[in-house]
């Protein structure tokens, strides 16, 4: 009886996989509905925060993102995320959706607006909580502090790279990280 009780306590104290990893959940899509993260099994993930103000540099980022995603669509799934902390607003959702989709083809998943930063506390989306807290992802403790933050997740769902907005999608850092 004592061993059985100890086993129950041990399992009760262990965090469950679903608490540590968001890959059993779903993401809301900007077009409506949601998509199961489990549908991306067998692919690496590139999660990137999107700009919410249209400019030539923002357009360049979207064009590069589409090209990188299209060229690697057999092995890579891009998840593009407009962030409330970066200025996403439901009032401008239709305009943003039109802008994003005028450049990003259907192989890029665009989420609805998400809370991405640590400062959001309990409101931070589970995927970003995992991406930005090293006690959950066991590798990196880097906040999604501006548009263009890039998080690289392996096929085995290990966060293996985080790059700032200053690293361009055509740059060596991104290309080396994608090749890992």
Position 24 scores a pLDDT of 81
Question: Whole-prediction pTM value?
Answer: 0.87
State how far the Cα of 136 lies from the Cα of 21, in Å rounded to an integer: 7
Q: Where does the pLDDT of residue 170 fall: very low under 50, low under 70, confident under 90, or very high at 90 and above?
A: confident
79-105 tens-digit pLDDT: 999 999 999 999 999 999 999 999 999
**CA–CA separation, 140 and 134 (whole Å):** 5
Q: Do 77 and 40 touch, CB atoms closer than 8 A?
A: yes
- Tens digit of each residue's pLDDT (9 = 90 or more) over 63-74: 999 999 999 999
**pLDDT of 12 over the 70 cut:** no
pLDDT of 157 above 60: yes
Q: Is the per-residue pLDDT at 9 higher than 50?
A: no
CATH code given to domain 23-179: 3.40.30.10
HSE on the CB side for 108, CA within 13 Å?
A: 27
pLDDT exceeds 60 at position 11: no
**147 to each of 15, 19, 48, 86, 135, how far by Cα in Å?**
31, 26, 8, 7, 24
Query: Domain spans of the chain?
Result: 23-179
Residue 152 pLDDT: 97
Rounded distance between C-alpha atoms, residue 23 and residue 136, angstroms: 13
């Amino acid at each position: 009886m004592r061993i059985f009780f100890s086993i129950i306590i041990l399992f009760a104290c262990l965090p469950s996989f679903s608490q540590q990893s968001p890959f059993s959940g779903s993401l809301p899509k900007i077009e409506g509905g949601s998509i199961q993260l489990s549908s991306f099994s067998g692919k690496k993930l590139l999660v990137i925060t999107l700009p919410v103000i249209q400019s030539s540099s923002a357009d360049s980022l979207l064009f590069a993102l589409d090209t990188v995603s299209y060229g690697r669509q057999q092995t890579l799934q891009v998840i593009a995320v407009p962030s409330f902390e970066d200025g996403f607003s439901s009032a401008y959702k239709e305009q943003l959706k039109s802008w994003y989709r005028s450049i990003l083809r259907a192989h890029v998943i665009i989420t609805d607006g998400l809370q991405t930063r640590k400062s959001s506390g309990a409101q931070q989306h589970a995927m970003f909580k995992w991406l930005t807290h090293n006690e959950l992802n066991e590798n990196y403790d880097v906040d999604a502090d501006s548009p263009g933050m890039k998080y690289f997740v392996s096929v085995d769902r290990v966060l293996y790279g985080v790059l700032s907005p200053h690293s361009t999608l055509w740059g060596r850092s991104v290309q080396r990280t994608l090749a890992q």
